[in-house]
Every structure is written in C-alpha cells, then in structure tokens.
C-alpha cells in the first residue's frame, strides 16, 4: 500500500499505524441509523467521517468491504431494554406496518446521504433480515455460559463475564462503578443484575415485530444485530469498527462482550469514534428533540435562523455547524464552546475521561 495510515484506536487509546489482518483486504463496520425518523445533522457526521475513511483506505489501495447496518427492529425507547420499539411506536402512531415506516425513512436516509456525496457501503444489512444469525449467536453465548433465560427472554450475565474478561475495556468503565451508578428501572425484574443487558426479548402480545426462537416468540436485543452481522460479513475478527462516541457505551462495549462470549476473541482490532454534533452543549439527537434535519439543512428557506427554534439569530446555519465542533485540545483545556455553553456533550465527556486520563 502507498503510505502509512495512523488511526486513533479508542480501544488502545493510542494513535497506531494501521495494519490490516488480511491485506490488501480491509473489513470495516459502522453503526448505521435506526430508521424511524428523518436523518439530521447528527447522523451526517458518522456517515461523512467514515465515508472519508472508506475513500482514503481505497485511495491507499486497499480492497475495502464496508458494512453499515440499518436498524429496523430491536432498538427500544431510551436505548433501554424495556419500552416500545422505536419503529413500532412510529408505526402505531401513523397506523402503518412497521416495515413501511422503516422503508420510508431508509429511502429518505439514502437520499440525504447521496446529497452529502457519501458513498454507499458495500453491504447494508437489515437487523430484521438477520434474525437467524442473531439467534445462533445468542445460543452460542448461552452454550458458553455467559447468558441466562428468564421468562422467555435471554440476558447477558455481565458479572459472570467480568470474572474472566474485563467488561468495560472500551469505555474505561469498571463493573463496580457500573453497579453503583445503574438505576433499578421498572420492568427489569427478570435481570439477575441491573447491569445485565438483553440478548433476546420475549414479545408482549401487542408487539408486532416478532419471530420464533428457542426461548420465545420475540425479537433480538439492540446490541446483538451488529455483533451478528459484523461476524457474518467480516468474520469473527475484523479490522475497523466505527460509530459515534455516544455508542461507545453501552452499545459497542456490549458488542465486544457478546463477541468474546460467543467466539472467544476480540471482534475488532481498531475501534474508531467520531465526536458529536452539539446544540447548546448537548448532543444532537432524535430522541432529545434538539435536531436540525438534513432536509432543513439542504433547504434554503428553513436555514434562516429566525425560522428555526434551535438557531441563534446571529448568523446563517453553516457558520453554526462549524462552531459546534470542538477539538480534543479545547475540550481538554475546558475552553468555552463557541456556541456559548461550557459543557461538552455527554458523549464527549465520557470520551475525554477514557482518552485523556
């Protein structure tokens, strides 16, 4: 290959020369959208970030298989293990079949990414299209003793896992700290330990999206899809896993635990995380309601600050978008964010803690 690429690896907390497992082939997995609403600026950032990585790796001469998933099932409200499926909820409100909702927003996501000149990934697998692979992986984790079945649902046993493999190596958290900070939420009675997470959930009678499994008619836990689809298309260990830093915990941390429990090896050699787009110092997020859609971004009329509740009347949007980004240096030094807030987004704070301490 021409030239050396250095990657800041979130797992090692170091900048490392990139050495693929099987050059000239490179496997890269990036967490894609949950398709229950229009893409906003927060979705554009990982797409553009890893599009640059994808293009640059190809420029260096690598043959890249880039997998970015579509989450169309299993992502529950508040990223939790209880509550309504985000897509099913939208479908209920709009009186549609959940897959109509997923298809509609998948199409709009593609159109928005095309406008951003982001290349399509090599494979774009759907979570609902890989239930068999997810069930097989849950079964392996059960067979290896790192999960348990309660009332038709399957949960990952973090305490058991943590005795043999450190849980928290990516985000820098430790098990005792998590135990002390995890809230007891209602509906979590089935878990042996409140920090455990769902691998498979038994569906309530009203739940539409359900499949048969050895444990119940149900649906996979949110973290399972990426482990199963990454493994299917890129192998048990692959080169790069990317995503927003808000996904580092619990999503990516749980992916590591699932893969180690199932396959006995680390799934990824280089973990890469992009920072967040912030609004008023807080991560821009669909569920937080503080987002600017890409349609609003592309559409000139909606870009007037006076027309958008999230924008200050100080200047046009492009200036604001630039202003929201803070460098690690400015965060390290506690500099005031140019958007006026002193707080970094939660994701940034967690990242700072694990990268710079």
> Taking the mean position of all CA atoms in its chain, how far away is CA 215?
26
Nearer to a copy of itself, 169 or 229 (CB): 229
Of the candidates 167, 148, 169, 170, the one whose C-alpha atom is nearest the C-alpha of residue 159 is 167
Q: Hey, which residues between 215 and 244 contact a copy of itself (CB under 8 A)?
A: 233
Nearer to a copy of itself, 222 or 233 (CB): 233
In angstroms, what is the minimal distance from the CB of 32 to a copy of itself? 13
Q: Are 269 and 239 in contact (CB under 8 A)?
A: yes
| 99 belongs to the binding site for a copy of itself (CB under 8 A) | yes
> Taking the mean position of all CA atoms in its chain, how far away is CA 55?
21
Q: At 296, which helix (H) or strand (E)?
A: helix 294-298
CA distances from 18 to 52, 58, 239 (A): 15, 13, 9
Q: Hey, which residues between 40 and 79 contact a copy of itself (CB under 8 A)?
A: 65
Nearer to a copy of itself, 94 or 343 (CB): 94
Rounded CA-CA distance 170/166 in Å is: 10
Rounded CA-CA distance 336/320 in Å is: 15
Among 47, 131, 260, 317, interactor with a copy of itself by CB under 8 A: 131
Q: Looking at 5-13, 122-130, 196-204, 288-296, which segment touches a copy of itself (CB under 8 A)?
A: 122-130
Query: Residues touching a copy of itself: how many (CB under 8 A)?
Result: 24
| 140 belongs to the binding site for a copy of itself (CB under 8 A) | no
Nearer to a copy of itself, 33 or 121 (CB): 121
| 200 belongs to the binding site for a copy of itself (CB under 8 A) | no
- Alpha-carbon dihedral of residues 50, 53, 56, 61, nearest 10 degrees? -110
| 100 belongs to the binding site for a copy of itself (CB under 8 A) | yes
Which tokens hold the place of 158?
């973090």
Nearer to a copy of itself, 295 or 339 (CB): 295
Nearer to a copy of itself, 217 or 307 (CB): 217
| 172 belongs to the binding site for a copy of itself (CB under 8 A) | no
Q: Looking at 39-47, 104-112, 249-257, 286-294, which segment touches a copy of itself (CB under 8 A)?
A: 104-112
Rounded CA-CA distance 159/146 in Å is: 9
Residues in Cβ contact with 52 at an 8 Å cutoff, skipping those fewer than 6 apart: none
Nearer to a copy of itself, 155 or 233 (CB): 233
In angstroms, what is the minimal distance from the CB of 262 to a copy of itself? 16
What does DSSP say about strands 153-156 and 197-202: parallel, antiparallel, or unpaired?
Answer: antiparallel
Among 129, 280, 305, 328, interactor with a copy of itself by CB under 8 A: 129
Q: Looking at 5-13, 114-122, 243-251, 333-341, which segment touches a copy of itself (CB under 8 A)?
A: 114-122
Q: Looking at 100-108, 186-194, 249-257, 276-284, which segment touches a copy of itself (CB under 8 A)?
A: 100-108
Residues in Cβ contact with 98 at an 8 Å cutoff, skipping those fewer than 6 apart: 72, 73, 85, 87, 88, 90, 91, 208, 209
Residues in Cβ contact with 7 at an 8 Å cutoff, skipping those fewer than 6 apart: 15, 16, 18, 240, 270, 272
Nearer to a copy of itself, 122 or 341 (CB): 122
Longest alpha-carbon distance in the chain: 59
In angstroms, what is the minimal distance from the CB of 123 to a copy of itself? 5
Q: Which residues bind a copy of itself (CB under 8 A)?
A: 65, 97, 99-100, 103-104, 107, 110, 120-126, 128-132, 136, 211-212, 233
């Amino acid at each position: 290959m021409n030239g050396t690429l250095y990657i800041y690896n979130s797992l090692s907390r170091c900048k490392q020369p990139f050495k693929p497992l099987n050059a000239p082939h490179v496997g890269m997995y990036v967490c894609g959208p949950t398709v229950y609403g229009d893409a906003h600026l927060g979705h554009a950032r990982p797409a553009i970030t890893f599009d640059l990585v994808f293009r640059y790796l190809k420029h260096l001469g690598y043959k890249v298989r880039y997998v970015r998933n579509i989450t169309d099932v299993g992502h529950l409200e508040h990223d939790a293990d209880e509550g309504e499926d985000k897509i099913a909820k939208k479908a209920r409100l709009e009186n549609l079949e959940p897959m109509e909702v997923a298809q509609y927003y998948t199409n709009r996501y593609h159109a928005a990414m095309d406008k951003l000149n982001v290349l399509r990934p090599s494979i774009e697998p759907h979570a609902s299209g890989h239930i068999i692979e997810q069930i097989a992986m849950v079964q392996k984790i059960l067979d290896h003793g790192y999960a348990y079945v309660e009332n038709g649902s399957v949960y990952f046993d973090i305490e058991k896992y943590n005795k043999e493999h450190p849980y928290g190596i990516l985000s820098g958290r430790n098990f005792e700290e998590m135990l002390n900070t995890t809230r007891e939420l209602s509906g979590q009675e089935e878990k042996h330990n409140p920090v455990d997470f769902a691998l498979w959930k038994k569906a309530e009678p009203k739940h539409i999206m359900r499949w048969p499994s050895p444990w119940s008619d149900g649906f996979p836990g949110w973290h399972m899809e990426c482990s199963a689809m990454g493994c299917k298309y890129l192998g048990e260990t692959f080169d790069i896993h990317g995503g927003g830093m808000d996904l580092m915990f619990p999503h990516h941390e749980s992916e590591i635990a699932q893969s180690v429990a199932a396959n006995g090896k680390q799934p990824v050699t280089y973990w890469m995380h992009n920072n967040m787009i912030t609004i008023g110092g807080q991560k821009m997020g669909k569920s937080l309601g503080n987002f600017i859609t890409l349609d609003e971004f592309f559409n000139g009329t909606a870009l007037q600050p006076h027309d958008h509740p999230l924008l200050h009347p100080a200047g046009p949007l492009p200036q604001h978008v630039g202003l929201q980004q803070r460098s690690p240096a400015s965060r390290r030094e506690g500099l005031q964010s140019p958007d006026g807030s002193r707080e970094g987004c939660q994701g940034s704070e967690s990242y700072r803690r694990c990268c710079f301490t």
